[in-house]
Amino acid sequence: MHAAVLVRNDPAGLEGRMAALHAPDAGRPAGFEADLIAVGRDRDRAAFRRLFDHFAPRLKSFLRRGRTNETLLDDIVQDVFANIWRRAASYDPAKAGASTWIYTIARNRRIDIARRARPEVDIDDPALVPEEADDAPLPDHQANQGEMGRLLTAALTGLPAEQSDVVAMAYYEDMSHSEIAERLDMPLGTVKSRLRLALSKLRQTMDGLD
C-alpha cells in the first residue's frame, strides 16, 4: 500500500498513468481520475461536469447522513465542488482514486463547518520520515485505484451488520469512536474491537493489491 508515498515529478510517468487509466479493465470506465487530472491541468469544464454529475448527488446523500443542516446541503455540495476545482492541480492519482480524494475534500469542508482545525501532515516537511525505498510505487500503481475501489466495495458489503453499522456511523455520521459507544450504549472497548475487526478486513483487501 503506497498511498502516502512522496510524489515524483515525472511527466512521462504521468502519461503512462493516464494511458493505464483509459485502458480496458484499468479503473472505472468513466475514468474519474483522468477527469480530475484534466480539471487540474487544463481547467477542463466537460471533465468537471462529469465529476459533478457522478459525485455531487452522492455527496449530498453522504452529507445528509451526517449532522449537516438540511437547508445547507446544496450549498455545501457547491462549496466542495468549488474546492475540487481549485485544488484539482494538487490531485495525485498515485495516492488516491478520485472518490477517495473527493471524500477528503468533503471531510475537510465538514471540519471547517464544525469550526474545528485540522493539523495536516506536510509531505515536504524536513522532519518527515519517508517510507522505505522498497515500498516506492510501481509506475502502474494508479491502475490499481479503480480495482481497489471495487474490492473495497465488495469487502464493505461482506461485513457483518454489527461491524458495518459502526463503520457507517464513523464515516457517514461523523462520529468519534467514543460518541458511537454512547449512541449504541456499549462499552468503548466493544466499539473499538468492532471497528478494529472491520478495518482489518478492509485493509487486508487493500494490502492484497500491492
Partner 1 sequence: MAHHHPDEGFLLDYATGVMAEPLAVVIACHLTLCPCCRTTVAQMEHVGGALLERVEGEPLEPDCFEAVMARIAQEPTLCPAACRDAATSGDLPRPLMACLSGCSIGRTWQRPFGIEMQGLPCKVPGHHLRLLRIQPGRAVPRHSHDGIELAIVLKGAFSDASGTYGRGDIACADGSVDHRQAAEPGEPCVCLVATTGRLTFTGPFGPLLNLTLRL
Residues within window 31-50 making contact with partner 1, judged by CB under 8 A: 45, 49
* Closest to partner 1 by CB, 23 or 130: 130
Listed ranges 9-17, 18-26, 87-95: which one lies at the site for partner 1 (CB under 8 A) = 87-95
Sequence-distant (6+) residues with CB within 8 A of 79 are 109
Residue type at 22 in one-letter notation: H
- Which residues from 6-35 bind partner 1, rule CB under 8 A? none
Rg (CA), the chain: 18
Listed ranges 8-16, 17-25, 128-136: which one lies at the site for partner 1 (CB under 8 A) = 128-136
CA proximity to 184, closest of 169, 198, 171: 169
Alpha carbons 181 and 194: distance in angstroms, whole number: 11
Q: Does 147 bind partner 1 (CB under 8 A)?
A: no
Cβ atoms 63, 106 nearer than 8 A: yes
- Which residues from 158-197 bind partner 1, rule CB under 8 A? 167-168, 170-172, 174-177, 179, 191-192, 195-196
Q: Does 3 bind partner 1 (CB under 8 A)?
A: yes
Chosen residue from 41, 78, 138, 162 binding partner 1 by CB under 8 A: 78
How far lies 202's CA from each of 45, 159, 180, in Å?
35, 9, 20
Chosen residue from 46, 117, 133, 161 binding partner 1 by CB under 8 A: 117
Alpha carbons 201 and 95: distance in angstroms, whole number: 21
Chosen residue from 60, 140, 184, 190 binding partner 1 by CB under 8 A: 60
CB atoms within 10 A of CB 59: 22
Q: Does 102 bind partner 1 (CB under 8 A)?
A: yes
**# residues near partner 1 by CB under 8 A:** 82
Alpha carbons 97 and 90: distance in angstroms, whole number: 13
Listed ranges 7-15, 16-24, 80-88: which one lies at the site for partner 1 (CB under 8 A) = 80-88
